[in-house]
């Protein structure tokens, strides 16, 4: 699935290096403009600015010494030193872009010559066992062409992160590339996207730096150098950090999870994963007589959520239904699949999810939603062409098995409306587009919204925020009466 939007649209930066083999220090001073997609996190979309220092060669460390690269943090907050997983990722990036990489490979032990095929073209290359990097060489000029690192991603599987080097120019007798692109590709699906690209305006080969320029922390303080934690997919770290979302790794315990349940529909659990701020993540759990459906799957929380379900509901998760493919909603899907859950997804997204080993699918489309029922509750999974927010975006409607005009109706949605929060966090286009879909499907305005970001809120509030002309009707209009029971079924339901 192609990228929906860019994380940032324009900016400037200085990238500085200090090299003392095998030690390498990098500093990035960057200022850039986040794209309109981040209006929910930063309504005024102020430019972001940070200074990041990275050390590698004797353990990996990285610290923001000024500002941060997390779009939802205040611009004046200095993020400080990052988690070891992100430090390892940033250290690899620093080595990849280092102007001394060729010399580093030449001096290191254990490098080996290789030949690689890219789009049917054979390229000479050398692999560094020290840094786990592949340097691909232009066969005509023998200048560095691509520096490749490999990553594991929970959705994309084996992936490559390629730094493309082109437009070489001489600077003081040395040829330097002046056009840089980072291309991310998957081996298991058709994915090749530009993570970052920039043009170099000026290169200084012998700059003068102040003594503390490459300090990770203020002078005299201790720097904590630690190993990358296990079981953290490097591809997911890249996914988050390049999207201005920080780091996906969270310390979550079952005891920290909280839930809310409607009094008149106790089979529905709104599970609060993170209540540290209003935009903290929530999931929807729907309990049936013999099954459990989990809606959305943020990374690193799956084990805790499954344990919570076993403890509080007493059943295994049988289905997982990501609202869409964005990493904060889908990074944990593979965990549920490994535990035996089937995926509930729109049929247009099957190719995307097929790279997860062992994945089994229940699919639906615009005219044929997926419906899961028992004698007490029914859940409808809905998708529309030209969906808001993302091409594969879906929402879930839940109500009792045989509803009437007084029955409660709940909708689970992600990212189209930050329900219960300030109106300036919302995107009017997305909100109105979703209301168009709800009206077409037949959702009553008396519905209650359970969001992934925000708080449980009446749909009426969204209608008021958008000044949307939404008529008044009951659940009988839902997909032309498809949620209703006939008289015999209603009698059976009452008898039960």
> Which DSSP string corresponds to 296-348?
---TT-HHHHHHHHHHHT-S---EEE-SSSSHHHHTTHHHHHHTTPEEEEEGG
Check residue 390 and report its DSSP letter: S
Per-residue confidence band for 225, with pLDDT thresholds at 50, 70 and 90: low
> Nearest CA to 465 among 413, 430, 415, 414?
430
How far is it, in rounded angstroms, from Cα 288 to Cα 371?
12
How far is it, in rounded angstroms, from Cα 138 to Cα 175?
14
Own/partner contacts of 127-135, CB < 8 Å, gap of 24 or more, are 128/104, 130/22, 130/104, 130/105, 131/92, 131/95, 131/104, 131/105, 132/92, 133/92, 133/95, 133/96, 133/101, 133/105, 135/101, 135/102, 135/105
Secondary structure E strands in 172-296: 174-186, 192-199, 258-260, 268-272, 282-287, 292-295
The pLDDT assigned to 4 comes to: 61
The pLDDT assigned to 163 comes to: 98
* 3-state class (DSSP) for residue 40: helix
Cβ-based burial of 124 (10 A; exposed 0-12, middle 13-18, buried ≥19)? middle
Instruction: Give the burial string for 171-189 (b: 16+ CB within 10 Å, else e).
Output: eeeeebbbebebbbbbeeb
> Nearest CA to 328 among 303, 299, 305?
299
Angle between helices 84-97 and 234-242 (to 10 degrees): 80
Check residue 223 and report its DSSP letter: P
Cα dihedral: 367, 368, 370, 376 (round 10): 100
Instruction: Please provide the average confidence, as pLDDT, over all residues in the chain.
Output: 91
* 3-state class (DSSP) for residue 157: strand
Cα dihedral: 16, 21, 23, 29 (round 10): 0
Which helix (H) or strand (E) segment holds residue 377: the answer is strand 377-383
Residues near 353 by beta carbon (within 8 Å), at least 6 away in sequence: 155, 333, 343, 345, 359, 361
Which helix (H) or strand (E) segment holds residue 171: the answer is strand 157-171
Per-residue confidence band for 226, with pLDDT thresholds at 50, 70 and 90: low
Q: Are 320 and 336 in contact (CB under 8 A)?
A: yes
> Nearest CA to 209 among 49, 40, 468, 18?
18
How far is it, in rounded angstroms, from Cα 410 to Cα 46?
36
CATH number given to 254-495: 3.60.15.10
pLDDT in tens, 338-352: 999 999 999 999 999
Angle between helices 428-441 and 459-466 (to 10 degrees): 120
Share of the chain above pLDDT 90, in %: 76
Determine which of 85-89, 93-97, 266-270, 309-313 has the lowest per-residue pLDDT on average.
Answer: 85-89
> Nearest CA to 248 among 270, 271, 218, 274?
274
pLDDT in tens, 49-107: 999 999 997 788 999 999 999 988 899 999 999 988 999 999 999 999 999 999 999 99
Q: Are 137 and 177 in contact (CB under 8 A)?
A: no
DSSP per-residue codes, 403-434 = --TT--EEEEE-SS--TTS-GGGS-HHHHHHH
| Mean pLDDT computed over 190-196 | 88
pLDDT in tens, 194-221: 999 999 999 999 999 999 999 998 765 6
CB atoms within 10 A of CB 55: 24
pLDDT in tens, 385-428: 989 999 999 999 999 999 999 999 999 999 999 999 888 888 89
Structure tokens at 274: 């993170």
Residues near 76 by beta carbon (within 8 Å), at least 6 away in sequence: 67
């Amino acid at each position: 699935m192609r990228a929906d939007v860019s994380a940032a649209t324009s900016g400037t930066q200085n990238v500085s290096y200090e090299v003392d083999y095998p030690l390498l220090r990098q500093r990035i001073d960057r200022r850039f403009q986040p794209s309109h997609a981040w209006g929910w996190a930063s309504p005024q979309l102020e430019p972001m600015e940070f200074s990041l220092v990275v050390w590698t060669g004797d353990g990996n460390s990285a610290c923001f010494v000024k500002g941060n690269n997390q779009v939802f943090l205040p611009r004046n907050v200095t993020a400080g030193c990052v988690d070891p997983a992100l430090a390892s990722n940033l250290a690899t990036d620093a080595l990849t872009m280092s102007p001394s990489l060729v010399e580093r490979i030449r001096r290191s032990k254990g490098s080996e010559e290789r030949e690689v095929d890219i789009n049917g073209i054979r390229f000479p290359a050398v692999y560094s066992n020290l840094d786990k990097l592949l340097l691909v060489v232009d066969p005509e000029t023998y200048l560095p062409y691509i520096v490749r690192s490999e990553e594991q991603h929970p959705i994309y599987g084996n992936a490559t992160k390629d730094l493309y080097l082109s437009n070489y120019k001489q600077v003081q007798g040395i040829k330097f590339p002046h056009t840089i692109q980072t291309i991310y590709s998957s081996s298991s699906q058709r994915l090749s996207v530009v993570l970052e690209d920039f043009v170099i305006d000026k290169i200084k080969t012998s700059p003068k730096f102040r003594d503390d320029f490459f300090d990770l922390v203020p002078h005299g303080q201790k720097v904590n150098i630690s190993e990358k934690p296990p079981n953290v997919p490097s591809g997911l770290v890249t996914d988050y950090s390049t999207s201005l979302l920080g780091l996906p790794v969270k310390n979550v315990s079952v005891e920290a999870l909280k839930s809310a349940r409607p009094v008149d529909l106790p089979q529905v659990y709104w599970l609060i994963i993170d209540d540290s701020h209003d935009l903290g993540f929530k999931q929807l759990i729907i309990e049936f007589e013999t099954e459990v459906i989990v809606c959305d799957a943020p990374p690193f929380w799956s084990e805790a959520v499954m344990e919570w379900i076993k403890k509080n509901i007493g059943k295994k998760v049988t289905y997982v239904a990501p609202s869409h493919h964005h990493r904060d909603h889908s990074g944990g899907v593979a965990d549920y699949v490994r535990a035996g859950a089937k995926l509930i997804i729109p049929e247009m997204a099957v190719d995307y999810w097929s790279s997860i080993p062992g994945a089994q699918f229940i699919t639906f489309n615009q005219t044929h939603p997926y419906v899961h029922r028992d004698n007490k509750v029914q859940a409808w999974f809905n998708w529309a062409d030209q969906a808001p927010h993302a091409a594969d975006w879906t929402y879930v409607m839940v109500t009792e098995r045989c509803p009437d005009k007084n029955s409660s109706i709940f909708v689970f949605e992600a990212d189209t409306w930050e329900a219960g929060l300030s109106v300036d966090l919302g995107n009017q286009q997305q909100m109105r587009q979703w209301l168009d879909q709800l009206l077409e499907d037949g959702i009553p305005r008396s519905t209650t919204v359970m969001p992934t970001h925000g708080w449980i809120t009446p749909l009426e509030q969204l209608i008021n925020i958008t000044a949307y002309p939404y008529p008044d009707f009951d659940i009988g209009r839902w997909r032309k009466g498809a949620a209703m029971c006939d008289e015999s079924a209603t009698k059976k339901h009452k008898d039960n």
